């Protein structure tokens, strides 16, 4: 008999198909994923700083995270997986789209990077008894899954004792509707129309609620805002649109 974890799926087929159609454009900084390329520096700095603090690593080292395992869930074309591998993590990266995984694997091979790319899901990793990870990246994924609560709990159960998960998503506010949905998709054309469903955006308290029964500590939100004058994203106290949260499983 299948386990309860294996019997359900976080996959929303329509979301997978939407991203599969544009998989070949992941590494084009001026293409459909241009907003993610602009967003990447602030995401990378946040991940690096919190992981350095959490694991007591020396940021002056070229590869400070040697010996730590990292899982990048919903990795897309590998925009985060590759820099994480360069920082020394042993990276496993998963995505429900075979086309995304093919794009990511091909690009990593061209860069000489050893990344374990798999077309699978968090719940399937959990059901298969995958060894826990020191760091899990859950970046701009949860607003695209079918059951965000079950999905996030499965992800948290893949964390090793003392491990760190970073969740990035969009807040379900009128400001986010105006800027991240209507503005980004229909006015500025930063994203293809239909990329996001505002009703799937999540409030920080909902993230906390999903994990209330899990043995983890949740912190944040840490806001992220875009400055149209500089064209840069920065951390901010304003979490009304984009934000990140940290999830830590206490050491055994």
Q: Residue 35: give its domain's CATH number.
A: 3.40.50.150
Strands (E), the chain: 69-73, 90-95, 116-119, 133-139, 159-170, 217-227, 232-236, 242-248
Q: Which of 144, 151, 79, 164 is nearest to 121 (CA)?
A: 151
Q: Is 74 assigned to a binding site? A: yes
pTM of this prediction? 0.86
Q: Which pLDDT score, from 0 to 100, does residue 177 have?
A: 79
Does residue 120 fall inside a structural domain?
yes
**Angle 107-111-113 from CA coordinates, rounded to 5°:** 95
Q: What is the pLDDT of residues 9-55, one digit of tens each?
A: 565 666 556 545 555 688 888 887 777 788 899 999 999 999 999 99
pLDDT at 7 over 50: no
Question: What is the mean pLDDT of the segment spanning 112-122?
Answer: 95
Question: What is the mean pLDDT of the segment spanning 91-110?
Answer: 92
Domain containing residue 215:
13-170+199-249
Q: Which pLDDT score, from 0 to 100, does residue 190 have?
A: 54
Question: What is the mean pLDDT of the segment spanning 92-118?
Answer: 93
Does residue 166 fall inside a structural domain?
yes
Q: Is 95 assigned to a binding site? A: yes
Q: Is 245 assigned to a binding site? A: no
Q: Which pLDDT score, from 0 to 100, does residue 11 have?
A: 59
Q: What is the pLDDT of residues 212-244, one digit of tens each?
A: 999 999 999 999 998 877 878 899 999 998 999
129: left (phi over 0), alpha (psi -120 to 50) or beta: left
**Total number of domains constituting the chain:** 1
Q: Is 163 assigned to a binding site? A: no
The span from the CA of 104 to the CA of 23, in Å, is 9
Does residue 108 fall inside a structural domain?
yes
Helix axis angle for 13-20 and 98-110, nearest 10°, is 40
Does residue 116 fall inside a structural domain?
yes
- 210: which 2 tokens? 């999903």
């Amino acid at each position: 008999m299948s386990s309860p974890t294996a019997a359900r799926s976080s996959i929303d087929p329509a979301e997978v198909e939407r991203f599969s159609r544009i998989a070949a454009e992941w590494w084009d900084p001026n293409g459909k994923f241009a907003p993610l390329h602009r967003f990447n520096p602030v995401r990378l700095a946040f991940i690096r700083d919190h992981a350095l603090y959490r694991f007591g690593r020396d940021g002056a080292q070229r590869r400070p995270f040697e010996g730590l395992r990292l899982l990048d869930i919903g990795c897309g074309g590998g925009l985060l997986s590759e820099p994480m591998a360069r920082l020394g993590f042993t990276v496993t990266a998963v995505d429900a789209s075979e086309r995304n995984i093919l794009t990511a694997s091909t690009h990593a091979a061209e860069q000489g990077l050893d990344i374990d790319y798999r077309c699978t899901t968090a719940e399937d990793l959990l059901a298969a008894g995958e060894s826990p990870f020191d760091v899990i990246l859950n970046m701009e994924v949860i607003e695209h899954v079918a059951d965000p609560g079950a999905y996030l709990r499965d992800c948290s159960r893949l964390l090793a004792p003392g491990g760190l998960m970073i969740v990035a998503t969009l807040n379900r506010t009128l400001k986010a509707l105006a800027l991240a949905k209507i503005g980004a998709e229909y006015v500025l054309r930063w994203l293809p129309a239909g990329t996001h469903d505002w009703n799937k955006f999540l409030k920080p308290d909902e993230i906390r609620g999903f994990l209330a029964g899990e043995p983890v500590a949740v912190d944040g939100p840490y806001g992220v805002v875009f400055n149209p004058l500089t064209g840069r994203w920065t951390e901010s106290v304003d979490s009304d649109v984009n934000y990140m949260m940290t999830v830590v499983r206490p050491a055994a």
